[in-house]
Structure 1
Amino acid sequence: MIGLRNGLFEFQEKCVQFLLDATSSGDKNTVIVKAPTGSGKTLILIDYIDKYLNNINSNISFVWLCPGKGNLEEQSREKMIKHLPSRSTKNLFEVLRSGFEAGDTTFINWELVTKKGNKAITDSERKNLFERIADAHRTGIQFILIIDEEHSNDTRKAKDIINSFASLYTIRVSATTKSNKLANFYEIPEIDVINSGLITKALYINEDVEASITIDDEHKYLIDLANKKRKDIADEYKKLGKDIRPLVLIQFPDMSDELIQHVENILESIGYTYENKLLAKWMSDSNDKINIKDIEKNDAQPLFLLMKQAVATGWDCPRAKILVKLRENMNEDFTIQTIGRIRRMPEAKHYDNELLDNCYLYTFDEKYRQSIKQEITNAFDVKRVYLKEKCKTFTLEKQLKDLDFDGLGERETYQVVQKFFKEKYKLSTKKKENRIIFESEGYVITDELIRKARQGKFIKTDTILDTSAGYYIETRRTVDTHKHGIELLHSINEIKSAIGIKQGKLRTILERLFRNNSSNKDKLLDLNTKEFYAFIINNEQKLKEDFVKATSQMYVQNSLVLQPKKSIFKIPEQELIKYDASETDVIDMLSNVYEGYQSSTLVDGIRSLPERLFERYCENNDAVDWVYKNGDSGQQYFSIVYVDALQKQWLFYPDYIVKLKNGDVWVIETKGGEKKYGQSKNIDPQVLNKFEAFKQYAKEHNLKWGFVRDKNENLKINNTVYTESLQDEHWKPLSSAF
């Protein structure tokens, strides 16, 4: 029996009973538990293991798989040894020596067996792990897998290991997992965990950040606020006679060596250093650790911990009360998993003290997300399919970019973009009037960087993802061309990535358009240096959108300009495809080029609506010999080169190749169609350029082709003149083509 003075909380006991029921008479092999951070999931699982072995099946070996970050497997094993000393526990190396045994619980760090280049175990030892699993199977031992923080590992190597256990049941546990149609699902209500006193009553974001304040150094500003909050909390603990030293976590982005040095200097200036043991460090590299021994203890000496994502998952330090999330650019998302590190209560109870019963986040990140891998969220399985014999001889000429061709020169590119801005915004040569026009269209023109900061009190962690929850205040920073040069480059890079021209060329164009030190007489604005920096950074998203529109203007595809490389395309002989294993009434799609390709692939999340409609149309069309779904990127797939308004080359991968029984070959691209009232669902700004390139390619190769779009679940095709409106005469019923 688990050794706890007062036993488990009621919500924990309910979860244990669910697990026992699901793994004794459950109809599904997988069990998913969504357990809020701080809910005591380790104790729940330990109690479950004990009761399962006592009451259901003693011939089971439990394998507990943990993410490598934060030494979670060591913490979990230590808790089991402490609270359930009568049960046998092992780590990976012990099981490699002695094998798996009934009644064991083996704690394994994922990174030891999956991470490329990890030297903790040799290739022969990895092989030996599979041998030990096989030995256990031969002696009749069965496995139950517990996958802790289940979103953290979804790689091929991880799946190979999971599959090798051929487990009786697999239990996946995480604070951020979602329900899955193929699994039994249980969610521990976060409010029950709050009411138990295990976690804080709420999270405050950016408390005491002042609206409209001009900030010189945002990192120092946030650290100063966090330090003041830490001192206030420490004073309250002292009043209660508690020897608890609240810890401030400072989390950095991945690429941040200079920022780390900057923060170390800030902390040193206010008295926190590695030398006086008040500052600790724990980065992703296992060797980059300073002063972290026993840091989890309530009376540990360090008051600040510098960290990256290394301790964002699973690490348990209940005295951590404040998190400062720093950033290097304005577009970073904040991953809310990290918030779990500051939500635990140090004595697993509330004090009826507002300051002590809550936790605090300071960040200027505007967007919040959960780091759940898409493939797990969508719960799609993958299988390999093989090409039918009759399709193996099919070939088609495909196009590749000519890497020697770099589009328009700087002057011509400038002319295209300048013309777009002048026409869109009706600009003139009068800079003051242009300034008013830009501002009236939503552009911000100032010599300060303007930021939004979120504030508010959040009780449930998931509410942080609701952008309407809480409220936003505006903060400002005076432009410093030295400090903010990196942000300027980042913004230019963001625009560059959308239009594909070199950073230096783009910066010159932006300066010629908007900056006053340019000798260009045709510039649109006359901004000084600080205004120019602020203009590009503050308006990054609007500039990106306008530059994309400028480059997506239809360019007449000219064979004299465009001389793409050519290669022979053959349909890949095997392919990995996603499918929804929970689909019922599944049928083989006999028209598809692959054996075993089924209708369970034609579901939302794998295929778009026009793709689903098109594949079903082909399946029910007696004229179709076969249909091939092309890939979205990669040299093994069929591609056509198109050119944008800057004569920049891009690859376009048409969705389908269809061969009719009469020998005709059709190449088809599907696009979003129309909603009611004629509203277009097409979201591709380059659709006109692709259409013209497609038309030219088809003419040169004597192919039949078309763009296919949907309206009211009927399909229409066009291969003459592209229009967004499906009411136009150029859009014909697909049945008129084949």
Structure 2
Amino acid sequence: MIGIRKLFEFQEDCSSYIVNYCNSVNKKTLIVKAPTGSGKTIILLDFIDKYIKQKNRKICFIWLTPGSGELEEQSKKKLDKHLPQYTSKTVDDILNGDFDDKDVCFINWERVTKKGNRAIKEAERKNIYERIADAHRNNIDFILIIDEEHQNNTSKARDIIDAFAPIYTIRVSATAHKNKAFDMYEIDEVDVIASGLITKALYINEGVSDAQIQDENGLLLNLAIAKRKAIKEGYEKLGKNINPLVIVQFPNENPGLIKSIEEKLTTMDITYDNGRLAIWMSGNEYHKNIDNITDINNSVQFLLIKQAISTGWDCPRAKVLVKLRENMSEQFEIQTLGRLRRMPEAKHYDNELLDNAYLYTFDEKYRESVMQNIDRAYFVRRIFLKPEFYDFNLVKELRNLDYNSSGEREKRDRLAKFYKEKYKLTNDVTINKVKLMAGGYNLSDRIEKTIMQGKVVRTIDMVREDATRYGVSFAVNTHEHAIDLRQSIDSFKYLIGLSYEKTRVILELLFRDNRRFKNKFLKLNTSEFYAFILNNVHKIREDFREGMIGSYTEQRMFVEAKEEIFKFPHEEIFKYIEQKDSKVLKKNVYRDYTDDCLVEEIKSKSERLFERFCESCEEVSWYYKNGDAGQQYFSITYLDGNQEQHLFYADYIVGLKSGDVWIIETKGGEGKNGTNKNIDIQVRNKFDAFKQYAKKHNAKWGFVRDKNEKLYVNNTEYIDNMSSDAWKLLKF
């Protein structure tokens, strides 16, 4: 029992489980998965109280929180309120004193990991590491509570955790994932619902009909306004002074989209000036009317936010979420849904309208993103370079910014030729429509989407395969959909190396009736052109990529790549799926690089075979797995058929006992009946670029592919058929 009330049964069970866990032998780390709104802070406070009362040792609790300090302050205030008999401390208190028995120390990650912060700087007072050492000398043990445990995983964070040397670590999060290395306790979301702490269910797109829609954002906002008004009236009938809040979530801080929503809300008398509208995004100019916004009767009715709500933000009056889309694969935040489902008075009202939350969205990506949040296939941790490899270096290539690729006309003609040959297009627009539709293009004059509608109880229900989905279509509004059009073209313009404006001109020359061009495949009017791009963005991207392959050797000419020295990064994010009896791969250049990364969900078959080959090969002294993208990794430039520069990142660098160094690129191999499993359409361009790099720098190299569980290498001429003599059994 603690200060506010008797715990719910699921909270009591969780608290008692943690206490018993911390009394066990040979157990160190427990992951607690607690749905947002389940009262995890109260559960942890109850655990602390129980453990201190039955302990037989000096103990100090370290409560680590993410963010810029809000969650730290929030948790500390709750302890001071409910457990005033214990001393709560911050980093400043520790620096001015010590870690003492029965202390609960709330530490924000940024205070101890941010560069130059006085908490870890050698200064007049002892730094936090020395305070930790003093506590150990005084026989004080530490128990670590890591709140939102997934959010901080850096070398400095690891150093802090190692310094505390905790006897137990409790990691808590709403989005925790199972990890075979640790024990896990999961609170069932249904138990939280039954307690009344969160809504009974979440309604998705309630009231959205399958009729043709003229204005999607306007429709979503109108539905949200009507729902908010009904909820407000429902509270008033019960005599409750609760002002329900609608959250409008943007995928990013796009000024144009923000302005368009502000204008729509203004026509509905929801403005910043009258206190009914607030905005909370980065930058002071995007902070308006957010003071006391979490108060139950605050005047703000609509809050505009970016993709993620600040960690620790608690606003139980939020009842409706409008999630906007921009034809991009933005991440859908489980935490946002969790905060939407809190009940304002921590109880149900036996009223269907008030006991549920509401989501309105035409975003087709949220199911995929929810699945990634709920059931991500892998886990991550930091690994660190062995000191003996600090000085290793190679020459890497970067794009030469002074080099000019082929012009707009050449790219236009190349794409026209590609479309004509792939789809067998003619000068007859009517025939071309049939052929493009047969090839997978959608030629509707309306924007078509598939949405989900229904009621879900658990968050996981949002990813059910049998959930109700149906198609909706929107009439094109060139003003409203101009942002969508730009976002769509921006998503594939890089494939031809042109600006938005020039890429749009090429598309109009090929498919729109407003420009004269000899290869005019369609003659779409303005609305039809908008619909064509928005309905076919993935198909166009696929064709642009395929159309730009070309021949590297034909187009290479004389391009001098920019060169820099590459060194192994001192730390890396390591993806893995915990396996029984996992082992350290000793030849890798990183410490704690284990074989539980060698699984299908993380690495290709050729990569898995290659790393095992390196571990078993007598001639191999060490190997490095390169990253897929980023300036810190080893890269080589290549040109596509349009003379556009690109970078590719060879998979492995291998050191032999002889002193030789090999650079290896792995590709999909050959399956049954000679099936080619390589999916890289630029493979020949990369092969030829690799060959030129090796010649220039006298490097040993090869492309490696698998066949019948064996690895073969090629560094002469790229041929898909692995029966060719160009592919040799891999030996070093």
Q: TM-score, normalised by structure 1?
A: 0.87
- Secondary structure, counterpart of 1:556 in structure 2: helix
Question: Do 1:408 and 1:648's aligned partners in 2 also have CA atoms closer than 8 Å?
Answer: yes
Q: By how many angstroms is 1:319 displaced?
A: 2.2
Q: Alignment partner for residue 338 of structure 2, among 329, 337, 340? A: 340
Q: By how many angstroms is 1:228 displaced?
A: 0.8
1:384 has 2:410 as partner: no
User: Is the deviation greater in 711-720 or in 601-610?
Assistant: 601-610
CA 256–135 in structure 1, closer or farther in 2 if over 3 Å, else same: farther
Q: By how many angstroms is 1:625 displaced?
A: 6.3
Q: Could you give the per-residue CA deviations for residues 616-636 of structure 1, whole angstroms, max 9, x where no partner exists?
A: 324434455665545545667
- Secondary structure, counterpart of 1:673 in structure 2: coil
1:629-668 aligned at under 5 Å gives the runs: 629-633=625-629, 638-658=634-654, 666-668=662-664
Counterpart for residue 486 of structure 1 = 483
Question: Do 1:66 and 1:149's aligned partners in 2 also have CA atoms closer than 8 Å?
Answer: yes
Q: By how many angstroms is 1:54 displaced?
A: 0.8
Q: By how many angstroms is 1:96 displaced?
A: 3.9
**Matched residue type, 2:89:** K
**Matched residue type, 2:639:** V
Q: Could you give the per-residue CA deviations for residues 418-437 of structure 1, whole angstroms, max 9, x where no partner exists?
A: 11111110001112221222
* Identity across matched positions, percent: 51
- Secondary structure, counterpart of 1:54 in structure 2: helix
CA 607–376 in structure 1, closer or farther in 2 if over 3 Å, else same: closer
1:496 has 2:497 as partner: no
Q: By how many angstroms is 1:340 displaced?
A: 1.0
Q: Could you give the per-residue CA deviations for residues 293-332 of structure 1, whole angstroms, max 9, x where no partner exists?
A: 5443434443333333563533222222111223444543
Question: Do 1:586 and 1:600's aligned partners in 2 also have CA atoms closer than 8 Å?
Answer: yes
Counterpart for residue 36 of structure 2 = 37
1:178-197 aligned at under 5 Å gives the runs: 178-197=177-196
Q: By how many angstroms is 1:204 displaced?
A: 0.7
Q: By how many angstroms is 1:558 displaced?
A: 5.5
Q: By how many angstroms is 1:734 displaced?
A: 1.5
CA 667–104 in structure 1, closer or farther in 2 if over 3 Å, else same: closer
- Secondary structure, counterpart of 2:637 in structure 1: strand
Counterpart for residue 679 of structure 2 = 683
- Secondary structure, counterpart of 2:453 in structure 1: strand
CA 616–336 in structure 1, closer or farther in 2 if over 3 Å, else same: closer
Counterpart for residue 220 of structure 1 = 218
- Secondary structure, counterpart of 1:525 in structure 2: coil
Question: Do 1:22 and 1:184's aligned partners in 2 also have CA atoms closer than 8 Å?
Answer: no
**Matched residue type, 2:528:** E
Counterpart for residue 586 of structure 1 = 583
Q: By how many angstroms is 1:657 displaced?
A: 4.6
CA 511–125 in structure 1, closer or farther in 2 if over 3 Å, else same: farther
Counterpart for residue 267 of structure 1 = 265
CA 467–556 in structure 1, closer or farther in 2 if over 3 Å, else same: farther
User: Is the deviation greater in 27-36 or in 646-655?
Assistant: 646-655
1:149 has 2:148 as partner: yes
Q: By how many angstroms is 1:178 displaced?
A: 0.5
Counterpart for residue 162 of structure 2 = 163
Q: Could you give the per-residue CA deviations for residues 672-716 of structure 1, whole angstroms, max 9, x where no partner exists?
A: 224446544323221122223334555667766432212342223
Counterpart for residue 518 of structure 2 = 521
Aligned counterparts of 2:254 and 2:123: Cα–Cα separation in 1: 37
CA 589–499 in structure 1, closer or farther in 2 if over 3 Å, else same: farther
CA 434–322 in structure 1, closer or farther in 2 if over 3 Å, else same: same
User: Is the deviation greater in 688-697 or in 176-185?
Assistant: 688-697
Question: Do 1:63 and 1:146's aligned partners in 2 also have CA atoms closer than 8 Å?
Answer: yes
- Secondary structure, counterpart of 1:353 in structure 2: coil
- Secondary structure, counterpart of 2:450 in structure 1: strand
1:277-676 aligned at under 5 Å gives the runs: 277-284=275-282, 289-309=287-307, 311-368=309-366, 369=369, 377-387=378-388, 399-466=397-464, 469-480=467-478, 482-557=479-554, 561-565=557-561, 567=563, 572=568, 578=574, 584=581, 586=583, 589=586, 594=589, 600=595, 603-604=598-599, 607-622=603-618, 627=623, 629-633=625-629, 638-658=634-654, 666-676=662-672
- Secondary structure, counterpart of 2:320 in structure 1: strand
Q: By how many angstroms is 1:146 displaced?
A: 1.5
Q: By how many angstroms is 1:373 displaced?
A: 12
**Matched residue type, 2:106:** F
Q: By how many angstroms is 1:542 displaced?
A: 0.6
Question: Do 2:399 and 2:645's aligned partners in 1 also have CA atoms closer than 8 Å?
Answer: yes
Q: By how many angstroms is 1:653 displaced?
A: 3.0
**Matched residue type, 2:70:** N
Q: Could you give the per-residue CA deviations for residues 545-595 of structure 1, whole angstroms, max 9, x where no partner exists?
A: 001011124443565x043337586765967584868774736645x6x48
Counterpart for residue 2 of structure 1 = 2
CA 264–108 in structure 1, closer or farther in 2 if over 3 Å, else same: farther
CA 642–468 in structure 1, closer or farther in 2 if over 3 Å, else same: farther
CA 68–698 in structure 1, closer or farther in 2 if over 3 Å, else same: closer
Unaligned runs of 5+ in 1: none
**Matched residue type, 2:724:** E
- Secondary structure, counterpart of 2:176 in structure 1: coil
User: Is the deviation greater in 374-383 or in 44-53?
Assistant: 374-383
**Matched residue type, 1:2:** I
- Secondary structure, counterpart of 2:669 in structure 1: strand
What number of residue pairs does the alignment pair up? 727
User: Is the deviation greater in 707-716 or in 117-126?
Assistant: 117-126
**Matched residue type, 2:40:** K
Q: By how many angstroms is 1:413 displaced?
A: 1.4
Q: By how many angstroms is 1:224 displaced?
A: 1.3
Aligned counterparts of 2:24 and 2:143: Cα–Cα separation in 1: 14
1:729 has 2:706 as partner: no
- Secondary structure, counterpart of 2:84 in structure 1: coil
User: Is the deviation greater in 55-64 or in 602-611?
Assistant: 602-611
Aligned counterparts of 2:352 and 2:374: Cα–Cα separation in 1: 36
**Matched residue type, 2:340:** I
Counterpart for residue 53 of structure 1 = 52
Question: Do 1:674 and 1:710's aligned partners in 2 also have CA atoms closer than 8 Å?
Answer: yes
**Matched residue type, 2:235:** Y
**Matched residue type, 2:512:** R
Unaligned runs of 5+ in 2: none
Question: Do 2:294 and 2:316's aligned partners in 1 also have CA atoms closer than 8 Å?
Answer: yes
CA 138–402 in structure 1, closer or farther in 2 if over 3 Å, else same: same
- Secondary structure, counterpart of 1:337 in structure 2: helix
Aligned counterparts of 2:619 and 2:123: Cα–Cα separation in 1: 55
Q: Could you give the per-residue CA deviations for residues 149-177 of structure 1, whole angstroms, max 9, x where no partner exists?
A: 22222334433433333322221111111
- Secondary structure, counterpart of 1:334 in structure 2: coil
- Secondary structure, counterpart of 2:553 in structure 1: coil
Aligned counterparts of 1:77 and 1:596: Cα–Cα separation in 2: 37
Q: By how many angstroms is 1:129 displaced?
A: 4.1
1:237-276 aligned at under 5 Å gives the runs: 237-276=235-274
CA 675–12 in structure 1, closer or farther in 2 if over 3 Å, else same: farther
- Secondary structure, counterpart of 2:314 in structure 1: coil
User: Is the deviation greater in 22-31 or in 220-229?
Assistant: 22-31
Question: Do 1:569 and 1:637's aligned partners in 2 also have CA atoms closer than 8 Å?
Answer: no
User: Is the deviation greater in 488-497 or in 35-44?
Assistant: 488-497
Q: By how many angstroms is 1:457 displaced?
A: 1.2
**Matched residue type, 1:708:** V
1:708 has 2:707 as partner: no
Question: Do 2:155 and 2:571's aligned partners in 1 also have CA atoms closer than 8 Å?
Answer: no
Structural RMSD (CA): 3.7
- Secondary structure, counterpart of 2:385 in structure 1: strand
Q: TM-score, normalised by structure 2?
A: 0.88
CA 130–659 in structure 1, closer or farther in 2 if over 3 Å, else same: closer
Aligned counterparts of 2:117 and 2:219: Cα–Cα separation in 1: 39
Q: By how many angstroms is 1:128 displaced?
A: 4.1
CA 573–306 in structure 1, closer or farther in 2 if over 3 Å, else same: closer
CA 499–129 in structure 1, closer or farther in 2 if over 3 Å, else same: farther
